[in-house]
Amino acid sequence: MSESREQRWSLKGMTALVTGGTRGIGHAIVEELTAFGAIVHTCSRNETELNERIQEWKSKGLKVSGSACDLKIRAERQKLMETVCSEFDGKLNILVNNAGTTIPKEATEFTMEDFSTIMTTNFESAYHLSQLAYPLLKASGNGNIIFISSVTGVIAVPLCSIYASTKGAMNQLTKNLACEWGKDNIRVNAVAPWIIRTSLIDSIEVQLIPPHFSVNCYI
């Protein structure tokens, strides 16, 4: 498998920041990037879990470091990017805005606190981190931003009106940043997966769209 990866392409020497990398999709992204040779920094609100994952990765010979960070807090996002800047000598090749959360409720039941939590975690933090990462991505001469969006940002799904709104906004942000920052050799893309069984999904009761409902998503 490693020989096959090397024959296709390599990220050797590339640097990457992956938010929310200790679980689910983020965890898989960290392992995939390092398998291709990238040097990765990740973050999590749970410092104990973060340290456990880093030790596991180091035991596998993977180049991963991490920071405890609550992405809802602006000052912590700034501190995270300062750490990344120092660790990667002022250059960053890849930013993966992966961290996210949801609270399943009817639209009439959401509170202002729910709105703030979901919007800040999913969208505001990704926007701000992209702003903070911009000079580092530009300095690398080969920058990439990947937003982990969702099919819910394209179609209607029950019980997730705020979550879906953050992903719809993320899809549009992807287009705008791609237009604005292309001249700086920064590519911007969004990946919009359907439901993937992770700890986030396991913690809620998922109501699927009826099977006859088909989806085509191009971002």
Give pLDDT, residue 35: 93
Apex 125 CA angle, 120 and 129, nearest 5? 170
Each residue's pLDDT tens digit, 126-164: 999 999 999 999 999 999 999 999 999 999 989 999 999
Going by pLDDT thresholds of 50, 70 and 90, the confidence category of residue 59 is: very high
Domains in the chain with CATH codes: 2-202 (3.40.50.720)
Q: Which long-range contacts (CB under 8 A, 24 or more apart) does 211-215 make?
A: 213/155, 215/151, 215/154, 215/155
Question: Global pTM?
Answer: 0.87
Q: Annotated catalytic, 163?
A: yes
Q: Which of 127, 134, 163, 218 is catalytic?
A: 163
